[in-house]
């Protein structure tokens, strides 16, 4: 029996509060233990974040970037571009609700398995099963339902898992841990796109593989992380409906200016990136003018380019951010890369333009995703509500990922592809402005 298990709940709560105070005064001390984290434990955290980002993003990209847009073509009675916009609007709403709900629920959990772990496992199961089921139907309503449930499962994993950065990681190395997560997601996206291109002739198998990746993302990460301590000693709310509803209230704007600036900056940058990324198959086919076979090759090459540059950006930017003690500069550099990369196919509507987009915007996404989570943790107004507040901030990611294609489809259907690129560039530059306005984080 561990020493912690022998202590009373009151003693464990007092130790918890002392650990939080120690972490506030020393950036190298863990808020979980009140001590400097041993290297083997840090390696496990880094590996867990890396594997999580890699696997869930790989699974989602197989579907969202390639298989689902191709699957829409087999559904009669509606244009694929229009269906993509409708489905993404529905999943945006589902993701918004799920991120907030499961972040808050994990804050309130008091299980013997910890606050975050049960929800991560639940999300892994739900997300993996329903992502596969998305590819088993050509009924647009049922497809939308399955895909919405997949996004609910995904966000049930992401919201509590990202909160672990606040709960268990010293503030002085959050940039590095965020880099592991970002590197995994940055590499997982192009790998998933490459897998998706391989499965275009056997899409049901591709959807099954995607579901397995999604499930393994949460499940394997929980196995790799050091075991989360029981949370039964934390004070319980009364549990009335009013208490539960109160737990969803966002921070007051008057006391959390930086929190909302980070939210606005993130949503603008993700809108910019996702407008083009989610539509890249249609851009290559309809704007560049390639056949299905040619576009599969182009997408694979773009994915390889993105994977390499994103990995470089992620590995370098996170530790560099910790070294210089600054978060805003790398994030702003990333958004400028978004803008420059998006301009390439606009100026040069050729295969080379798409390759340049993959290289420049991919580098920006790698830098952005490696530092972004650390920036979000640094602007939290209340660490005890990290799950809920990070859930709110992660709504920006969800909105960007889901509404980007909606905006893109609306612009494409109304004005054509050529007008979509400058709009995406504007979103990236506006995101820069919001991040630079943050005052209490360097």
The position carrying tokens 């009364």 is: 238
Domain count, the chain: 1
Please, which pLDDT band fits residue 121 given cuts at 50, 70 and 90?
Answer: very high
Residue 25 in any domain: the answer is: no
- Summarize pLDDT for 184-239 with one digit per residue, the tens: 887 888 789 888 888 888 899 999 999 999 999 999 999 999 888 877 666 666 55
Residue 14 in any domain: the answer is: no
Residue 18 in any domain: the answer is: no
Q: 226 Cβ partners below 8 Å, 6+ apart?
A: 41, 44, 45, 168
> What pLDDT score was predicted for residue 2?
47
> What pLDDT score was predicted for residue 1?
42
Residue 19 in any domain: the answer is: no
| In contact, 219 and 124? CB cutoff 8 Å | yes
Residue 306's domain is classified under what CATH number?
Answer: 1.20.1250.20
Enclosing domain of residue 402: 30-230+237-436
Residue 145 in any domain: the answer is: yes
Residue 7 in any domain: the answer is: no
**pTM score of the predicted model:** 0.73
Region 93-109: what's the mean pLDDT? 80
- Cα–Cα distance, 392 to 182 (Å, whole number): 19
The angle at the Cα of 396, spanning 412 to 337, to the nearest 5 degrees, equals 65
Using the predicted structure, report yes or no on whether residue 92 has a pLDDT greater than 90.
Answer: no
Please, which pLDDT band fits residue 248 given cuts at 50, 70 and 90?
Answer: low
Residue 294 in any domain: the answer is: yes
| In contact, 73 and 80? CB cutoff 8 Å | yes
| In contact, 331 and 435? CB cutoff 8 Å | yes
Residue 11 in any domain: the answer is: no
């Amino acid at each position: 029996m561990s020493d912690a298990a022998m202590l009373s709940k009151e003693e464990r709560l007092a130790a918890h509060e002392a650990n939080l105070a120690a972490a506030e005064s020393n950036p190298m001390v863990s808020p979980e233990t009140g001590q400097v984290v041993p290297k083997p434990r840090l390696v496990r955290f880094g590996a867990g974040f890396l594997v999580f980002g890699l696997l869930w993003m790989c699974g989602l990209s197989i579907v969202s970037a390639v298989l689902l847009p191709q699957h829409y073509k087999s559904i009669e009675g509606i244009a694929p571009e229009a269906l993509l916009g409708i489905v993404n609007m529905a999943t945006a709403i589902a993701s918004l609700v799920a991120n907030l709900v499961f972040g808050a629920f994990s804050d309130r959990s008091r299980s013997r398995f910890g606050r975050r772990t049960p929800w991560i496992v639940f999300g892994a199961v739900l997300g993996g099963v329903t992502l596969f089921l998305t590819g088993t139907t050509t009924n647009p309503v049922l497809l939308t339902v399955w895909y919405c449930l997949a996004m609910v499962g995904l966000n049930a994993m992401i919201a509590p898992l990202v909160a672990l950065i606040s709960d268990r990681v010293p503030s002085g190395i959050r940039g590095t841990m965020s880099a592991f997560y970002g590197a995994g997601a940055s590499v997982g996206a192009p790998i998933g796109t490459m897998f998706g291109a391989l499965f275009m002739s056997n899409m049901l198998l591709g959807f099954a593989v995607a579901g397995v990746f999604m499930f393994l993302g949460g499940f394997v990460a929980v196995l790799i992380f050091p075991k989360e301590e029981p949370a039964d000693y934390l004070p319980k709310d009364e549990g009335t409906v009013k208490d539960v509803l109160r737990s969803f209230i966002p921070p007051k704007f008057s006391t959390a200016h930086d929190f909302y600036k980070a939210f606005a900056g993130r949503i603008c940058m993700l809108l910019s990136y996702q407008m083009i990324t989610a539509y890249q198959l249609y851009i290559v086919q309809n704007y560049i003018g390639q056949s299905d076979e040619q576009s599969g090759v182009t997408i694979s090459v773009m994915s390889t380019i993105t994977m390499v540059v994103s990995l470089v950006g992620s590995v370098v930017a996170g530790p560099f951010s910790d070294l210089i003690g600054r978060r805003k500069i790398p994030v702003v550099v990333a958004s400028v890369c978004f803008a420059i990369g998006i301009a390439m196919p606009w100026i040069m509507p050729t295969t080379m333009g798409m390759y340049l987009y993959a290289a420049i915007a991919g580098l920006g996404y790698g830098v952005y995703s490696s530092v972004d989570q650390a920036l979000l943790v640094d602007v939290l107004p209340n660490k005890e509500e990290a799950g809920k507040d990070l859930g709110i901030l992660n709504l920006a990611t969800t909105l960007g990922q889901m509404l980007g294609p909606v905006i893109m489809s609306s612009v494409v259907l109304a004005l054509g592809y050529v007008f979509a690129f400058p709009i995406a560039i504007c979103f990236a530059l506006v995101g820069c402005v919001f991040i630079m306005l943050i005052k209490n984080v360097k």
